[in-house]
Amino acid sequence: MNANLTGHLSPDDPDLSPVTRAMLALRTPLLAAWMDEVRGSVPQAKDLPLPILENTLPAYFDTLASLLTPGHSARILTDIGAVASEHGGERARMTMYDATALIHELQIFRDVLFRELKHHGVELDEAQRTTLFAHIDATIRESTNAFIVVQAALREQFFASMAHDLRTPLSTAQMAAEMIGHTSDDPSVRRFAEKIVASTQRIDGMTRELLDRITFCKTGAVQLVIERMDLTALVRDVAQWAEHFHSVELEVEAEPIEGYWSREAIHRAIENLVNNAIKYGARDPAIRLTLSTTIERVQLMVHNHGTPIAPEDSESIFQLYRRAGRQHPGSGWGVGLPYVRRVAEAHGGSVLMSSSREDGTAFVIDLPTDARPFAGAPTAA
């Protein structure tokens, strides 16, 4: 149930087809081979920290493998698009990649996948090969689109910040030029001072127009106080609080799961997800909190049943002051999920979402185990 979003589908799951299980059994060596080849072939990836290079690839790999199980749910198709988009967005925020590098690393993934499957004796029929090829090609397109959109948002934020910061020295230069014009008896000096004043006023007007044209909400950076902490204990605290309002099931891979994160920010983000599950989910069954790890990363999943979030709302729910109104009517500003995304991205991570009537709704916060090198990373949310 949504284990694909955390990269923890089991190769022993009897509900999965033999070829899916065979792929899952090769997850670790295949991803390791992919990372080695990417480091050697993509210059921008050479010095990337392992958790950033790994990114959401375990979740992507598991979701791709699920496509080879006949009768897979429609949710899997939505999931693979969501994971692909998050991959592209994280590459834009956390690396020096350009679009060419992103496309190259996904092409390497495709080549490594088929090479390693063949090497380990996993036979694919023509329909299965076609399915994998088609969805990897779609992944390249969707990841690249997300990469371009997030890069544009980051450029927009940069230009807005630059335009705002320019106004202070411009104002100082203008006042100095006006003072020179008022105090000098030399006509030439006054004439030049007037030109300086006119030019600074023009530049100031241009910067104000630029600020007016940039349409984004400046909510400020997420303030992170990174410290060593036990995420298992924090999640248990949230689960105990939530049990006053709704039944909760907690599953943890290990205890403790320690790393470096912002305790307050992560606590608020998890509470927001659990509160949404309580508010918008069905009364039964229990809300599930699952805590697991992959290579130098940790995944926290909040899952509930209830009215699903429509695919067309899967992005708008993360936008400030917007919400999936048709599915979840009610009052409120809708700042919870944008905050969750900002917290995850500021830690160098991502948020994945999957929703369907049959499988329920799951949100996964996927973070580097040690967020210190990435604290305050740029956020597109």
Domains, the chain, ordered by start: 3-154 (1.10.490), 226-374 (3.30.565.10)
- pLDDT > 70? residue 82: yes
Cis ω for the linkage preceding 58 (within 30 of 0): no
pLDDT (tens digit, 9 = 90+) per residue, 148-188?
Answer: 988 877 776 666 676 667 777 877 888 888 888 888 888 88
Report CA-CA distances (Å) from 331 to 74, 319, 337. Answer: 30, 16, 15
The whole-model pTM stands at: 0.73
Burial (0-12, 13-18, 19+ Cβ within 10 Å), 46: exposed
Q: At what angle do helices 18-25 and 57-66 cross, to 10 degrees?
A: 160
- pLDDT > 80? residue 104: yes
Residue that wins the pLDDT comparison between 109 and 188: 109
**Token pair listed for 164:** 């705002």
Q: Give the residue-averaged pLDDT of 359-369.
A: 95
Rounded to 5°, angle at Cα 255 from 243 and 348: 85
pLDDT (tens digit, 9 = 90+) per residue, 248-290?
Answer: 999 999 889 999 999 989 998 999 899 889 888 998 899 999 9
**Token pair listed for 24:** 């899952």
pLDDT (tens digit, 9 = 90+) per residue, 10-66?
Answer: 999 999 999 999 999 999 999 999 999 999 999 999 999 999 999 999 999 999 999
Amino acid 207: pLDDT: 66
What value does the mean pLDDT of the chain take? 86
